[in-house]
A and B are shown apart, each in its own frame.
Chain A
């Protein structure tokens, strides 16, 4: 991972404010060559500003951006080997597909014959052969997207920045493009820095995910780390809609956290943290990990408040100790009714202990 492979991007103590508002706060992270890193966050978390600072369209107030061992903090965008696929595609409306894709090569004064060949290669890469003469206004969103990608990779950047590139596409196309993008990244071997607010995209494509909020990263790790061991309540809620149970900390032995939810003892996984017995702590538990039984078991007693069946999944929301907990199970189960008493069982290490 990041530590062992060649470092392509190093961000050190980056800060940026717009007037009074601090958009990026003392942010540091590293990206390994060939990595697919997704920055995941809600709108306004600073992710687009971060991206614009990396490609040079915004200036940093403080900190350093080191690209492939070279400090590019103050460099102009055209002096950075970084290209961007913009959210709005940003195709030049007055140029056809060929001229759009050839643009970076023409700027770099590449020979005409070579331009021709590389443009057709790039268009082949995104399956847009034969569209050379089309203008942006004559193409669909998906097609423009492909051209924007071809244009961004043709100059062989060290890092490709993607700013919510699938945001404007419809659902089906988005699913198809996720696979294609991942595939493209593996074939090209270029580092991808991908920005999105869509957790599904992040979980599907990334080598690592950084969850961003309020200008800094809450957590950075592999998709399974993030999904299974969220560090805090926000990350847990943002990814996979975990149930959050307010608990009281008891002790920790070898990574096994013992906490109490009311009178119910739970054994959780956890990230390192300094707690003393009696501290408030939260248990993040995915709905699919919770077992619901109508007969009394060792679980948490709860009252069914809502039943919802969609997409082959039944969502049972039950209230225990003033907290709504949603459990999921596959298939329709008519035996559970509204208002009924049920017992919720959370297996050992099925949930994670998270901080506020």
Chain B
């Protein structure tokens, strides 16, 4: 019964993995298809990559998505980490209730979140655009980071932090040299998760963006509804390539012995 390889244990995950990658592989292959029609193979070509790089709107949308995902996950990381650190000793009315409320976006369907944000911003008379997007995305990124950080804090040994104080570090120095590095894995994994969620979000963005700002998912969504050019195959392939490279780099960094500084 120990962890070992049996036929079922390995065959089933392989099957699911193959199915997971099937549509992706199809997209990658068709990104090199000369023909515009996805039903026929017109020969190998880099035509759609050339088209993609000429499509300024697409790149603007990609740029917007990166800006949006970066700023909202960072903003959420700051808000959530600070709050998780202070919640126990803070002196605010109903702080535990507000703490729970801040986690609500995790269990509210995105469509509802999108609807309430839309209604709320129009009530306040806010201009729809990057600002409203960032605010909404921050709201749904907070729970991902907050839960990770507070779970880590729960099991965090206070002894090393006290040791740092005892050894001469001021409260701030102890925080920077000990608490923060010990929390870093939780904060980082929260940031990665919320970055991915924000980068992928269609529903909330559709409701919260203005006419002037397109994000990549919105752009792809409109294309899928109206008419597809094989350009988006090329886009998908490029994103996959970037992800694989990042993953490989991260894996390589992990296997290396931590370096001495």
Q: B177: CB under 8 A from chain A?
A: yes
Query: In the assembled complex, which residues on chain B have CB atoms less than 8 Å from the CB atom of A90?
Result: 157, 159-160, 162-163
Interface residues of B, count at CB 8 A: 20
Q: A94-B182, A96-B260, A133-B260 are in contact. Are A155 and B159 (CB under 8 A)?
A: no
Q: A94-B181, A135-B258 are in contact. Are A57 and B160 (CB under 8 A)?
A: no
Distance from A120 Cβ to chain B, minimum over Cβ atoms (Å): 15
Pairwise interchain contact A77-B160, C-beta atoms closer than 8 A: no
Q: A78-B168, A92-B178 are in contact. Are A86 and B173 (CB under 8 A)?
A: no
A314-353, CB under 8 A of B: which get 1 and which 0?
0000000000000000000000000000000000000000
Pairwise interchain contact A88-B159, C-beta atoms closer than 8 A: yes
Instruction: Choose the segment among A101-109, A168-176, A256-264, A286-294 that binds chain B (4+ C-beta atoms closer than 8 Å).
Output: A101-109
Is chain B's interface secondary structure helix, strand, loop, or mixed overall? helix
Pairwise interchain contact A108-B168, C-beta atoms closer than 8 A: yes
Q: B189: CB under 8 A from chain A?
A: no
| In the bound complex, CA of A92 to CA of B260 (Å) | 15
From A82, A90, A151, A152, residue with most partner B Cβ within 10 Å: A90
Query: In the assembled complex, which residues on chain A have CB atoms less than 8 Å from the CB atom of B219?
Result: none
Pairwise interchain contact B157-A88, C-beta atoms closer than 8 A: yes
Pairwise interchain contact B167-A56, C-beta atoms closer than 8 A: no
Which chain B residues (135-190) contact chain A, with CB distance < 8 Å?
Answer: 157, 159-160, 162-171, 173, 177-178, 181-182
| In the bound complex, CA of A155 to CA of B169 (Å) | 12
13 pairs, CB–CB < 8 Å, chain A vs chain B: A78-B167, A84-B163, A86-B162, A86-B163, A90-B157, A90-B159, A91-B163, A92-B160, A98-B260, A103-B177, A104-B167, A107-B167, A155-B168
Interface residues of A (CB under 8 A from B): 55-57, 76-78, 82-84, 86, 88-94, 96, 98, 103-104, 107-108, 133, 135, 151-152, 155
Instruction: Taking A76-B165, A77-B165 as given, write out 7 further A-B residue pairs in contact, using a Cβ cutoff of 8 Å, ordered by the A residue number.
Output: A56-B165, A57-B165, A57-B166, A77-B162, A92-B178, A107-B169, A107-B173
